[in-house]
Structure 1
Amino acid sequence: MEDKFNPRDISKALAERLHPTVMMWNRLEGRPRTHDFDRAMKAEVRDALWMLTRQWQMGEFTSDDAGSPVFAKVHISNSQLDLYKAANRKEEPYEDNVPLEVKAEQKKILFSREGKELSIDIRLQMGRYWLKLLKSRSLDLAAAYIRQYTFVLPDPARNTDHIHAHREVWQQYAAISGRSMDGYKFLQYIEIIGNQASDDITSDAGQIGVLAELAENFRLWFKKLYYQPEEDENNAWLPDRLEYQFESSALSAADIKTLTAKEYYDGHLDWYAFDIDQKEGLATEKPKDTVTETFIPAHVQFDGMPDTRWWKFEDGKTNLGAVRPSTTDLSKLLLMEFGLIYANDWFIFPQTLPVGVLTNIEGLTVRNNFGETIWVKAAEQESVAAEPWSMFKLSSQTQNNTLFLAPAAMKVQEGEPLEKIMLIRDEMSNMVWGIETAVPLPIGVADKGGEAALRVRQYHENIVKASTSAAQVPFTARISYQAMTDVPENWIPFIPVHVKNDNRQTQLQRASMLRIIEGDPHEPVKVKPRTSILREGLDHLGTDLTTPAPLAFFIHEEEVPRAGVSVSQSFQRTRWVNGEVFVWQGMKKNTGKGEGSSNLAFDQIRAVEKS
């Protein structure tokens, strides 16, 4: 059979048309209906108002004799931060491997107060870790360390109300007493010069060397686990202002720039928290790092901006035309004017700022499409106003072109507040009350301040009732005299006093209420705050570092407005750019909820209720 459908010579088969086929051709280009393109080129618009609106939106009705920028060059200098100073403390080298807010907010963890053990949860954590280190070296010494550094449940007494007045605290103490190791007590012992981790534990020479090595690892582990100052006086918290204050300086041969955060309290550190002060530099200091870059300017782009194509609608997710500002909303009016009228007149150039470095724009030149080169100055240098407006620039008494990308944590995990207080004004009593709304318990958790204060008072009342056997004589008079009404023990008074050597200016001084219990054979004691925020100065020690020498605590009156303030303290955690994790205690201040009344009254005559 002839293979007629498989030709040997395809060219010959096509030329002689040996195999008849059905062929069809399709054109891929557009086929015009007419050869006259005049009407198509006119771009006729049936709605003339639409075209006029789009021309107005694109700014075609306004123009000036200016060209478009096509080339630019910028000269930038960088100054590395060198020094750090917390409040009125001494200067120290700046640590670029630590977030600046961690450095500023750090506070020493409180492990004891008035001889009472606190932070039991961290003490247990430290003890478990030491026993884990012993197990890693196969040292069977856990029982010996638990006996040597153990927890002891004290007997019920007036001075142990911090344990026996709270059921959950007593339960935990009872559970760990004699069974768990107090790791902080062990750390205190080995940090004393001359003490060894093996003292009173073992006399084996081989084990002594291993324990010394483990003790050093234990110290480094705890120092890395919680970021805290060596001394609590080195933090940047100002108790009389209820805010942080610190500064960092960059030294160079050209100038000395100092960044000052005078009122930092909101928990998130950024460039707007700083003011800058610039002075002449020293010839012996290091020079600045400079860089010159060229770039092509690009138009500013944002959601909702007018599209450059006439036949394309803008994204409806951001509708600037739907903004309805009032006559006093200048910020909204400026935003709409920028977005709808002058949006295509703004150009940007990308510049990556190094973290924790002061970047100064020394000069910027732009060349337009007409070949003109223009030296661009900052807006505040061109302005004739007394207080020129600028953006993303640090506040200063003089003009500056310095930008600062704060070395702050991008995201911070914050725990539940361990302490929280409210400062409110009580106009009826003519004083300020510091209300402890959350107080720390010794086991490391917070409790409601009102409930904790009530339990402590009931604990003392029960002790007084148990020790008082004499029957009370009932009142026979119809009325009784009450010298003073009761106030919850979590309400700490602050009374106005004159500033020293000033007859007009006043400030708020911490005072105390008395704990008066009917039938108590002992003299009434002063109720002291339980939060470290309000205990400022109470735990101060004398020159011998053993004798208590309490100091008065003052708060500037302007720091407690009519709305009041709220201050809290909690553990916080973040991860830095190098992957290192930081855990620290930080404070935060917020606006309060207004005035209040304690119902405190003096010298009252009350009717006696008949039983």
Structure 2
Amino acid sequence: MNNYVAVNNITEVLTKKLLPTITLWNRLEARPRADDFDRALKAEVRDPLWMLTKQWQLGEFRGDDAGSPAFAKIQMATTRLTKYQADGMQVQAYDDKVPLEAKVEQKKVPFKLGAQEISLDIRLMMGRHWLKLIQSDFPAALRSEYIGLYPFILPDPDEKASGRITAHREAWQQFAAVAERSMDGYALYTHLKEGNAASDGTTQAGDAALDALGDRFTTWFEEFFLQPEDENNNAWLPPRMEYQFSVSAPDETDEKVMVADEYYHGHLDWYNLDIDPNKLTLETEPEVVLPPDPRTRDTNSFFPTTISFDGMPHTRWWRFEDGQTNFGDIDPDTTDLNKLLFIEFGLIYANDWFLVPFTLPAGSISNVKGLSVTNVFGEKIWVEPAGKGLDDAWKRWNMYSLNTKGNQQEPADNSLLVLPTVEKILEGKPLEEILFIRDEIANMVWAIEKKIPLPSGTGKHGGEAAFELHKFYQKILNQEIGDGIIVPEDIEFKANIRYQIMNTVPENWIPFIPVHVEGSSREIQLQRASMPRILENDAPGNAQKIKPRTQLVREGLDKDPVEAYFIHEEEIPRAGIRAYQTYQRTRWYNGKVVNWFGARKQTGRGEGHSGLAFDQIVPTKKRS
């Protein structure tokens, strides 16, 4: 029986669906009849008519009543950052001579910790630089004069005041190696900053050329290390252990003020800033000179360019995508919305997106005032921003736009902020590192000095440094007992057990105790306290308070008078935090190298237990 059916009008048959067996196939599958799949995977095509019919089956001959963009006209309003304010301090005129990260994070390079001089490595570097400056044009004897005027003094190993040097072998060796042989360059720098001349105290006193080198020396150091002019005028907020700052730029009416309330992770970008609608301007002092008005408005015309990327799906079915992008190798989690959006864009959209380029300088804020697109049919289309509406509208969606603080039904800000920041920063090893942990058993927070800065300029493990310093003070006490300076009280224990009020913890564990916030009976904060240094055979009541050896925890100790240090209780979560300070280095777009000293904060690793206990019964320890 012949099952062949002749069809005279294929269009009528398909339209009226007269023969349901005639279908449109949108999927092709190879059916190899052998174990070898090589030929089947080649998808060989020998009939051009077959190719055309497949294009027809896939709907590639269907036309849409739309045209591709052929011409675009855009009006862009731009402005630039003109003011900077660090944590409520005096407003400064902003300049782009250094990256914004360096301007925000800069802190004073530590040269003294209490009464102890530190940063021996930088002091030596400064001294060597000065001796090089005077090497060629002045007598050779002048070198020895400066070494004698600004020497390194070797401390006495039998004095308590020298413990932070002599207790650590590596620090003692370095000080012994340079004592009376090298020059303390920072001592000369402080001498010059006090208004004195570089030639003071030398045989070349009053030499104008030598004094001019002093100005050159101070300029070199201040350009080498970026530091705040005023130690208190920096963006670091100790009670929060994070940076806070504000920047502003002239707007159409007043100023656009942007604030960063919680910056601590080291990479500064647009998402760290929020628009503050309650601030119309940053008030400056009369003597502050601001840059010229940076507001501009430009109208430019473009030919829109189709966006393309590796692995983008092709609109023609017989073309294969670039295999360099393997979407199947992406393994996103259910919370990785950015990856999921990227995969959806890469797998679905092809020639639906067009690019209109517009170059913006660093430190600028731009806003598209209007965008008109003309297609190939001559139709003009007005394009509105995708994120328009109220800033608080939960259905609004956009990217790379600033958030407006508060819940005041403010219109959304669709401007684009390009911060003057750098992509990569070289970061040294932490000079000091502190772990803040919660100890629920002792009902306090501990600041564990995991790494402390030695006077030589290097870092050392905090536990080892604490053990060595405790051993040093014990040695000094034993010497005083042996010399008869201190006579320990002879206590005769008649029982095998005794009552102990409290035990102790390692000296690198600094306690923070909960106290009431002033004026509140419910809210608490954390105040730095001190543990007693308990030495064997020490006289009762003679225990000294253990002071921290890191800048971050010593906040307020080096001021006159000494100030208490408080941390907001909510800043130490249950997981704790890790804070550290490092030297950082980067290169700005003009080729200038920028160095600064800054702090970081990260999430900790959970709670801990110090072993601190009170009201214990312990075995009697008899004197030997």
TM-score (normalised: structure 1): 0.85
What is the Cα deviation at residue 385 of structure 1? Answer: 4.4
Distance (whole Å) between structure 2 residues aligned to residue 323 and residue 564 of structure 1? 33
Aligned pairs for 1:478-489 (under 5 A) are: 478-489=496-507
Q: Deviations over 1:266-293 (max 9, x none)?
A: 11111211112467799x9947211111
Give 5+ residue unaligned stretches, structure 1: 1-37, 542-548
What is the Cα deviation at residue 380 of structure 1? Answer: 1.9
Q: Deviations over 1:352-392 (max 9, x none)?
A: 22101111111111122332222211112269943512101
Residue 223 (str. 1) matches residue 210 (str. 2): no
Return the letter of the residue paired with 2:480: S
Aligned pairs for 1:164-563 (under 5 A) are: 164-193=166-195, 195-202=196-203, 208-252=207-251, 254-277=253-276, 286=293, 288-320=295-327, 331-381=338-388, 385-386=393-394, 388-397=396-405, 398-469=411-482, 475-521=493-539, 523-541=542-560, 549-563=561-575
What is the Cα deviation at residue 325 of structure 1? Answer: 6.1
Return the letter of the residue paired with 1:199: D
Using the TM superposition, name which of 407-416 and 97-106 deviates more. Answer: 407-416
What is the Cα deviation at residue 312 of structure 1? Answer: 2.2
What is the Cα deviation at residue 39 of structure 1? Answer: 5.9
- SS of 2:403's equivalent in the other structure is coil
Contact 2:74 2:371 in 1 (8 A): yes
What is the Cα deviation at residue 503 of structure 1? Answer: 1.6
Structure-1 residue corresponding to 2:618: 606
Q: Deviations over 1:213-272 (max 9, x none)?
A: 111111111111111011211110011111111111112553411221211111111121
CA 1:442–1:411: 2 relative to 1, 3 Å:
same
Distance (whole Å) between structure 2 residues aligned to residue 474 and residue 165 of structure 1? 33
- SS of 1:443's equivalent in the other structure is coil
- Sequence identity (%): 49
Return the letter of the residue paired with 1:289: T
CA 1:372–1:561: 2 relative to 1, 3 Å:
same
- SS of 1:224's equivalent in the other structure is helix
Structure-2 residue corresponding to 1:147: 148
Structure-1 residue corresponding to 2:90: 90
- SS of 2:367's equivalent in the other structure is strand
Contact 1:271 1:405 in 2 (8 A): yes
Match among 594, 601, 621 for residue 589 of structure 1: 601
Contact 1:419 1:439 in 2 (8 A): yes
Using the TM superposition, name which of 600-609 and 446-455 deviates more. Answer: 600-609
Aligned pairs for 1:35-184 (under 5 A) are: 40-43=48-51, 55=58, 66-140=66-140, 141-155=142-156, 156-184=158-186
What is the Cα deviation at residue 99 of structure 1? Answer: 0.7
CA 1:100–1:203: 2 relative to 1, 3 Å:
closer
CA 1:142–1:325: 2 relative to 1, 3 Å:
closer
Match among 584, 589, 592 for residue 572 of structure 1: 584
Distance (whole Å) between structure 2 residues aligned to residue 106 and residue 332 of structure 1? 35
What is the Cα deviation at residue 345 of structure 1? Answer: 2.0
What is the Cα deviation at residue 596 of structure 1? Answer: 0.6
Contact 1:432 1:493 in 2 (8 A): yes
Distance (whole Å) between structure 1 residues aligned to residue 201 and residue 232 of structure 2? 34
Distance (whole Å) between structure 2 residues aligned to residue 479 and residue 99 of structure 1? 64
- SS of 1:468's equivalent in the other structure is helix
What is the Cα deviation at residue 573 of structure 1? Answer: 0.8
What is the Cα deviation at residue 123 of structure 1? Answer: 1.1
Distance (whole Å) between structure 1 residues aligned to residue 449 and residue 333 of structure 2? 42
Contact 2:432 2:581 in 1 (8 A): yes
Contact 1:252 1:286 in 2 (8 A): no
Q: Deviations over 1:465-492 (max 9, x none)?
A: 2222468667442212221111011111
- SS of 2:404's equivalent in the other structure is coil
Distance (whole Å) between structure 1 residues aligned to residue 332 and residue 137 of structure 2? 71
Distance (whole Å) between structure 2 residues aligned to residue 138 and residue 106 of structure 1? 36
Distance (whole Å) between structure 2 residues aligned to residue 39 and residue 253 of structure 1? 65
RMSD: 2.8
Using the TM superposition, name which of 394-403 and 220-229 deviates more. Answer: 394-403
- SS of 1:462's equivalent in the other structure is helix
Distance (whole Å) between structure 1 residues aligned to residue 131 and residue 527 of structure 2? 47
What is the Cα deviation at residue 69 of structure 1? Answer: 2.0
Contact 1:362 1:401 in 2 (8 A): no
Distance (whole Å) between structure 1 residues aligned to residue 100 and residue 164 of structure 2? 36
Contact 1:254 1:280 in 2 (8 A): no
Distance (whole Å) between structure 2 residues aligned to residue 88 and residue 387 of structure 1? 35
Distance (whole Å) between structure 2 residues aligned to residue 103 and residue 385 of structure 1? 35
Distance (whole Å) between structure 2 residues aligned to residue 515 and residue 189 of structure 1? 37
CA 1:94–1:301: 2 relative to 1, 3 Å:
same
Contact 1:425 1:431 in 2 (8 A): yes
Contact 1:253 1:281 in 2 (8 A): no
CA 1:181–1:327: 2 relative to 1, 3 Å:
closer
CA 1:210–1:299: 2 relative to 1, 3 Å:
same
Distance (whole Å) between structure 2 residues aligned to residue 131 and residue 258 of structure 1? 47
Return the letter of the residue paired with 1:163: I
Return the letter of the residue paired with 2:327: L
- SS of 2:101's equivalent in the other structure is helix
Contact 2:80 2:294 in 1 (8 A): no
CA 1:202–1:245: 2 relative to 1, 3 Å:
same
- SS of 1:266's equivalent in the other structure is coil
Give 5+ residue unaligned stretches, structure 2: 1-45, 283-289, 406-410
Distance (whole Å) between structure 1 residues aligned to residue 431 and residue 212 of structure 2? 35
- SS of 2:134's equivalent in the other structure is helix
Larger Rg: 1
Distance (whole Å) between structure 1 residues aligned to residue 499 and residue 64 of structure 2? 87
When the two structures are aligned, how many residues end up with a matched partner? Answer: 555
Q: Deviations over 1:302-361 (max 9, x none)?
A: 232212332222223323356566777655544333222234322222222210111111
Return the letter of the residue paired with 1:132: K
Return the letter of the residue paired with 2:322: D
CA 1:113–1:43: 2 relative to 1, 3 Å:
closer
